[in-house]
Amino acid sequence: MINWHEKLSPMVKKVPWSGIRKYFDLVSEMKGVVSLGVGEPDFVTPWHIREACIYSLEKGYTMYTSNWGLLELREEIARYLYNTYKVIYEPRNEVLITVGVSEGMDLALRAVTAPGDEVLVPEPCYVSYAPCTSMAGGVPVSIPASAENDFRVTAAQIEEKITPRTKALILSYPNNPTGAVISREELMEIAKVVKKHDLIVISDEIYHNLTYEGKHTCFASLPAMRSRTILLNGFSKAYAMTGWRLGYACGHPDVIGHMTKIHQYTMLCAPVTAQMAALEALQNGTEEMAKMVAEYDRRRKLVLKGFCEIGLECFEPKGAFYAFPSIKNTGMTSEEFAEKLLLEAKVAVVPGNVFGANGEGHIRCSYAASVADLTEAIERMGIFLQKYTGEQNKAAAASG
Amino acid sequence: MTLDKKDREILEILQDNSRLKPEQIAVMLGLEIREIEKRIKALEEDKIIVKYHTLINWENAGEEVVSALIEVKVAPQRGAGFDKVAERIYRFPEVKSVYLMSGRYDLSVLIEGKTMKEVALFVSTKLATIEDVHSTATHFVLKKYKQEGIILEDGEKDRRLVISP
């Protein structure tokens, strides 16, 4: 018998499983659960996009594309980014089509990280940044974005963590899991630090279209930032295309070139069917997207008000489709709360610590769910909270 | 009445789900409850909101409902055009909708009844006998796939994982 444990790479063994797995196993055995735990739109991909993909299959688009992706799609992306953010990318060597932002992030980290290089990761954040940094041989350095500052990382916090080994900074606004957005002014301050310390910025802007108040600022559009930014984006969230696995990376030809080299050997190219669908999404998808965004915004307000009424303290998320309320007044840890809430109230949420240690004391609630489900979930959570905050208050009164 | 953006949003929300309460709509649109109630009342008074109804799939309840689309050719009347004869038709409760059409025929009439015989009898005795009705052609509905924008069979299920990052 082979002993895999001995054979496996120590570095890979050290990488922890995502904390979400445990809840997934737990919830899959339960019935009648209302889930606010889903990190993807509740819409299916608009029909005109699906139909365009079916048509492409009928026409025989079943081959490899260039490693970079279809030129027509890259041109469309470059045009879109120019029209939206006035940032110019050359479609031939500055845009790479990836298998979701997940691949883009992995490629970017692998392309820039030398062994021991430090990568700054503001937390809470998406679950892949730190593990991908480690797997690329780097050292993830967490920067806790504080709840007091509505989970926005500051230039001063970033500068504090910079050492001679610091290579890159990851930014992700609008943010999963907190729903935080960041202003142009704050980004300008961060840009100063980035320039001063000659850092690379990997900016994951997958939720950029889902910005409900103010205007999203593309980090690469800031003065002098284009050349040192790897911009990651994709189609999953705004066009409800998560399962298609399609994203893109834009940046200086030197880094995008080397990312494409890795991509060439590991992925060859993104699936052509998804690329054809993405082309349709960019060309004709704006109207349907705007409808979905308007709907998320309404639900956002509904959830925020609902949480407020049941006594769940929550800062106002202005982007993505998540709320990140505090559960500290229950005296429970995020994991205890999420597990109890699931087992007793049959509402699935994701414990905040899954997204970084300073997510502790919070839960991530996705409002990519129907109004009926959101209303039901809030009602159940209200009853649940009454029971546990009530007990807390009694205990406090008794000891006081 | 001219609609503004908020009126339009209210109408879109109610068209999709008329059971939402003014409290909920107020939160969604960032307006006061009173303001929402006032706007809805005005929309009702102006007959922009005509009725709050429920789309029911009677077949799922095991109820037999027969519906037929009748193409009706009529002679328009001087002064009243098609309106008078349309009124003669839409007064019948069996008639669920009446549209004036361009093209080969004039009125499209949707009729519902319990049996095919009942519908056919209605057409031959009530509809076809109206003065100014020249001819009728009855098309029975065999299956309803989509109604009022809603796909009736195999609505798209939520296929997402219950928890995902």
Identify the CATH number of the domain in which residue A365 sits. 3.90.1150.10
pLDDT at A376 over 60: yes
Residue in B closest to A19 by C-alpha: B165
- Say whether B163 and A301 touch across the interface (CB within 8 A): no
Minimal CA separation from B165 to chain A, in Å: 5
Q: Which of A335, A312, A311 is nearest to A325 (CA)?
A: A312
B138 vs A25: CA distance, rounded Å:
56
Q: Does residue A94 contact residue A106 with C-beta atoms inside 8 Å? A: no
pLDDT in tens, A255-281: 999 999 999 999 999 999 999 999 999
Answer yes or no: is B72 within a domain: yes
Q: Give the per-residue pLDDT at A25.
A: 82
Answer yes or no: is A254 within a domain: yes
Domain termination residue (choose one: A261, A284, A307): A284
B94 class by beta-carbon count within 10 Å (0-12 exposed, 13-18 middle, 19+ buried): middle
- Say whether A301 and B165 touch across the interface (CB within 8 A): no
pLDDT at A153 over 80: yes
Query: Are both B69 and B126 inside the same structural domain?
Result: yes
Q: Which of B27, B30, B158 sits opposite A42 (nearest CB)?
A: B158
pLDDT at B155 over 70: no
Q: What is the largest CA-CA distance in chain B?
A: 68
Q: What is the mean pLDDT of residues B118-134?
A: 96
Query: Are both B133 and B67 inside the same structural domain?
Result: yes
Query: Are both B91 and B22 inside the same structural domain?
Result: no
Query: Are both B78 and B30 inside the same structural domain?
Result: no
Beta-bridge partners for B67: B112
> Strands A95-98 and A247-250: what pairing?
antiparallel
Q: How many CB atoms lie under 10 A from the CB of residue A226?
A: 19
Query: Are both A278 and A210 inside the same structural domain?
Result: yes
- Categorize the per-residue pLDDT at A400 as very low, low, confident or very high, splitting at 50, 70 and 90: low
The domain of B27 spans 5-45
Answer yes or no: is A3 within a domain: no
**A170: domain CATH number?**
3.40.640.10
The domain of A183 spans 47-284
When divided into structural domains, chain A yields a total of: 2
Q: Does residue A43 contact residue A243 with C-beta atoms inside 8 Å? A: no
Whether chain B has a CB inside 8 Å of the CB on A302: the answer is yes
- Say whether B163 and A18 touch across the interface (CB within 8 A): no
Whether chain B has a CB inside 8 Å of the CB on A305: the answer is yes
Query: Are both A209 and A85 inside the same structural domain?
Result: yes
Whether chain B has a CB inside 8 Å of the CB on A23: the answer is yes
Whether chain B has a CB inside 8 Å of the CB on A290: the answer is no
**Interface size between A and B, measured as CB pairs under 8 A:** 56
Answer yes or no: is A396 within a domain: no
Whether chain B has a CB inside 8 Å of the CB on A39: the answer is yes
Which chain B residues are closer than 8 Å to A348 by Cβ? 162-163
B27 vs A301: CA distance, rounded Å:
6
Answer yes or no: is A14 within a domain: yes
Q: Give the per-residue pLDDT at B156.
A: 66
Q: Does residue A230 contact residue A200 with C-beta atoms inside 8 Å? A: yes
- Say whether B161 and A24 touch across the interface (CB within 8 A): yes
- Categorize the per-residue pLDDT at A394 as very low, low, confident or very high, splitting at 50, 70 and 90: low
Q: What is the mean pLDDT of residues A164-193?
A: 98
- Say whether B163 and A20 touch across the interface (CB within 8 A): yes
Q: Which residues of B touch A (CB under 8 A)?
A: 9, 13, 17, 20, 24, 27-30, 156, 158, 160-165
Our CA angle for A284, B152, B144, nearest 5°, is 105
Q: Does residue A281 contact residue A239 with C-beta atoms inside 8 Å? A: yes
Whether chain B has a CB inside 8 Å of the CB on A314: the answer is no
Which chain B residues are closer than 8 Å to A292 by Cβ? none
Percent of chain A with pLDDT over 90: 92
**B121: domain CATH number?**
3.30.70.920
* Residue whose entry in the numeric block shows the structure tokens 């109604």: B147
Minimal CA separation from B6 to chain A, in Å: 12
Whether chain B has a CB inside 8 Å of the CB on A18: the answer is yes
pLDDT at A247 over 90: yes
A120 vs A53: CA distance, rounded Å:
39
Computed over every residue of chain A, the mean pLDDT equals 95
> Residue A129 CA to chain centroid, in angstroms?
10
Q: Which of B17, B156, B163 sits opposite A23 (nearest CB)?
A: B163
Query: Are both B73 and B139 inside the same structural domain?
Result: yes
Q: Which of B42, B16, B39, B15 is nearest to B26 (CA)?
A: B39
- Categorize the per-residue pLDDT at A298 as very low, low, confident or very high, splitting at 50, 70 and 90: very high
Q: Give the per-residue pLDDT at B153.
A: 78
Minimal CA separation from A130 to chain B, in Å: 14
Phi, psi for residue A277 in degrees, rounded to 5 = -65, -40
Minimal CA separation from B14 to chain A, in Å: 13
- Say whether A27 and B13 touch across the interface (CB within 8 A): no
Q: Which of B9, B27, B156 sits opposite A302 (nearest CB)?
A: B27
